[in-house]
C-alpha cells in the first residue's frame, strides 16, 4: 500500500491528534512508525505497510 494512502487512513483513525510527519520504515518488519501529538502527549503508532492497519499504539 502506498505511504500516502497509509498516512491518510491512519490520520482519519487518529482524529483529534496532530500528525508529526516523517514516518519511519522498518524493513525487517515491513511496518511504519508514525508519530502523533494529543494534549501534549506523544503517541507512536505502528502500521503494517502491506495492509495499512494499525498494529500497535502507545496510547492504549
Q: Which residues pair with 41 in a beta bridge?
A: 38
Distances (CA, A) of 15 to 19, 20, 25, 37, 51: 10, 13, 22, 11, 20
DSSP 8-class letter at 22: -
pLDDT tens string 2-60: 999 999 999 999 999 999 999 999 999 999 999 999 999 999 999 999 999 999 999 87
Identify the three-state secondary structure at position 49.
Answer: coil
pTM for this prediction: 0.89
* Nearest residue to 10 via CA among 33, 42, 38: 33
Amino acid at each position: 500500500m502506498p505511504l500516502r494512502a497509509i498516512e491518510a487512513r491512519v490520520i482519519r483513525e487518529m482524529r483529534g491528534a496532530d500528525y508529526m510527519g516523517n514516518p519511519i520504515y522498518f524493513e525487517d518488519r515491513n511496518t511504519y512508525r508514525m508519530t502523533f501529538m494529543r494534549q501534549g502527549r506523544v503517541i507512536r503508532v505502528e502500521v503494517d505497510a502491506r495492509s495499512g492497519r494499525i498494529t500497535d499504539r502507545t496510547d492504549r
